[in-house]
Chain A
């Protein structure tokens, strides 16, 4: 009994998120989850995931079991299609909100920036809720398929988001090599490289922003320095022909149902599972891109306003606010100081995620 209790208290994932702003979004995900409309997920108290002060993620297995049971008896071709279309809409709306925030941010005053931050945060929270559900819903779908007598392999994505990223990264490598910048030379000379090469890497980063670790403060593809180092690690002294062959992505056996199939429960289950498996490859991208492309410009605007009131306020201090504080415009310097101190003292987290001392200022574009 004691052993079972100890096991249930163990985190599902440790140290996944450290920044207070990002941590607070998990609370918003629990609030957003009931709007998804799934059975056994009718209030934020039913949400099966929780993030503690250390950034450790806990999954409540009893809530997962309740949701699993409810879903298995709820699935019909109609509910499965509803589940797919609702989920797809949430992802699409976040992409639109991200681009909208990026376009509008520079011209907004404080109140408008806060309003748009709230709108974007709500949409990020909803996709984040789907991200938590993705830890077990695909398995529920696979189980339902087995229960329905389906014996085909799972419908894994064709040319997934990660596969496309690999192709694009290899294309950048080849373009740099064509300008006589091997990965080794690029890393050695960066950022003092030919303007064409500097632009190539910069444009790549803009397009691929969103790919990276779940923790926003851990460097990812938005950071040219990260990309240059990754190019070196991935493609230095490799056989380019062999890489090309691997990136040709020879087709695996076709496992999805035919388009002319009558929408039986099995075809509907397979269609939805294919959708979730594709989402699984993009879940971090959606929210991370929303943060870097949409939220950061809004936070810059807000930080400029805070600085007029509090001269010592640093742009990166906004990362130590709770999203509710961002929306309300509440800033307490002492609270920020305490949170920042606690964050900077967590050397295990900083080392795990490769966060250097200048990282936060760089994220806000203020160094």
Chain B
């Protein structure tokens, strides 16, 4: 992790190619899945297949679980949604509404600090 200007960069694994920007929206409990904002960057601990219908409305995906062989990789690739996995503690690092860039090639997630 390194801080530069008004951003902080977090490194994980690139799971599905592409780049996306948007506001973070975290899934922390079952109720959170019922209000996913369109165009958001979905932040979860793990993406299960039953959440797949939510993917077409989001811009990008950030997942805490570290491995490349997981649901998130399969589903994000199929829907063409840039995804970074293995971002440890992502659900705590990124608060709802914070601006994120997701690089699905490199697995880097950039958080923008807004004064």
Contacts and interface: CB of A to CB of B under 8 A. Distances in A.
Given A352-B29, A353-B29, A233 B54 contact: yes
B74 A277 contact: yes
A160 B30 contact: no
Interface of B: 29-31, 33-36, 38, 48-57, 67-71, 73-75, 77-81
Contacts of A234: 36, 53-54, 56-57
A192 B75 CA distance: 34
A211 interface: yes
Contacts of A249: 78-79
A40 interface: no
14 contacts: A154-B68, A163-B75, A165-B53, A166-B52, A229-B34, A230-B53, A233-B34, A234-B54, A238-B56, A238-B57, A243-B57, A247-B56, A277-B69, A352-B30
A221 B53 CA distance: 12
A169 B81 CA distance: 18
Contact of A166 (B36, B55, B73): B55
B69 A246 contact: no
Contacts of A20: none
Q: Please give me the 7 A-B residue pairs with the lowest Cβ-Cβ distance, nearest first.
A: A354-B30, A162-B52, A162-B49, A169-B53, A246-B56, A211-B50, A138-B69
Contact of A162 (B29, B69, B74): B74
The binding surface of chain B is classed by DSSP as: helix
Given A162-B78, A238-B38, A284-B50, 4 more contacts: A139-B67, A154-B69, A230-B34, A352-B29
Interface stretch (A53-61, A73-81, A212-220): A212-220
Contacts of B31: 354
Given A157-B74, A230-B53, A233-B54, A246 B29 contact: no
A271 interface: no
